[in-house]
Amino acid sequence: METILSIRSLWRCLLVQPLIVLVLTGTTLLAQPVVAQTSSPADPLWELGGAAFGFTQQAWPGASDSVNRSIAVPYVLYRGPLLRIDREMFGLRAIKTSDFELDVGFSGSIGSRSNDTLSRQGMPDLGTLIELGPRGRWNLGNAPGGGQWRLEIPLRGVFDVTDGFGSKGFVLEPRIQWNYQQLAVWRLSAYAGALLGDRQLAGTFYDVADVYATQSRPAFEAKAGLIAWRLGLTGSYRLTQDWRIFGFVRLDSVAGATNSDSPLVSQNTGYLGGVGLQWTWMRSERSATE
């Protein structure tokens, strides 16, 4: 049994954790928007390079504890007609029109050890979570400041990497987004949305089983519904042809959320934020096509 556990731990270190970091890099941490379409005509079909960034993340919505990471990873961008690994998505694009897109993509979040957080002392750790599923995107036209409005509605299954990819439920995250680009130098995006989860996902964050209940942390069974409101801003600036600096910040609030009375909720607001540097090593001479 110890040998099997050691092999699993080694496999996670060598394969799974780098994969999650690349997913996070390709979606959340390097998500730099464009205005009317995913790629401009000048964008190459593929790019290779590296990125280094540091970020801080609320351990879970409503937590008073944070998770801090500094990461340096290689990255690859590919802008094919079906497979898209770029600044807008990480996955497969099924439908593309001038007004609507449907893709299948990934998202994720880094886990936290319960013994490193005050509220969850003695409880199971929160694992590294990945999300997989379809996303609809509607282009809504011109917005103030020379930008574009877009509505996004992803519905994704949630899986715990550190628990053998066990299911943790489903998440729905509708958002309205403002995108802006200036000559591929500045790229900005602001969005507002809501995070909704089923009973299983809500329980992952907020359940307190009887065995883990204490005088200050009574037993609690979470319900499906609103997990958090979200307000975010991402942006990047091209320093040279090969170097780009980027940053991101997101405010989460559990005010009025379904499980805001859980003993694991200790504050209404929290944030995710970070800054990084992206370097392009190689790019194709062939341009991407829509």
Nearest-10 Cα torsion for 101, 51, 156, 266: -130
- For residue 35, the model assigns a pLDDT of 36
Rounded CA-CA distance 99/143 in Å is: 15
Is 93 part of a structural domain of the chain? yes
Q: Is residue 54 part of a domain?
A: yes
Q: What angle do CA 88, 251, 65 make, to 5 degrees?
A: 115
The pLDDT score that the predictor gives to residue 88 is 61
Q: What is the pLDDT of residue 89?
A: 64
Whether 289 maps to a domain, the answer reads no
Return the pLDDT at 174. Answer: 97
Residue 163 sits in a domain of what CATH number?
2.40.160.40
Question: What are the helix and strand counts (H, E) for the chain?
Answer: 3, 13
Contacts of 6 (CB under 8 A, 6+ apart): none
Give the tens place of pLDDT for each residue, 184-219.
688 899 999 999 999 999 999 999 999 999 999 999
Closest CA to 259 of 219, 226, 231: 226
pLDDT at 223: 97
pLDDT at 21: 47
Q: Determine, yes or no, domain membership for 167.
A: yes
**Does residue 288 form part of some domain?**
no
- Is 290 domain-assigned? no
**Model confidence, pTM:** 0.81
Q: What is the pLDDT at residue 289?
A: 67
Full DSSP string of 7-73? HHHHHIIIIIHHHHHHHHIIIIIT----SSSSS-TTSBSEEEEEEEEEEEEESSTT-S-EEEEEEEE
Name the residue range of residue 117's domain: 2-283
List the chain residues with pLDDT less than 70: 1-42, 86-90, 183-184, 289-290
Domain membership of residue 145 (yes or no) is yes
What is the dihedral angle through the alpha carbons of 212, 216, 220, 222, rounded to the nearest 10 degrees? -110
DSSP class of residue 119 equals T
Q: Quote the number of domains for the chain.
A: 1
61 in a structural domain: yes
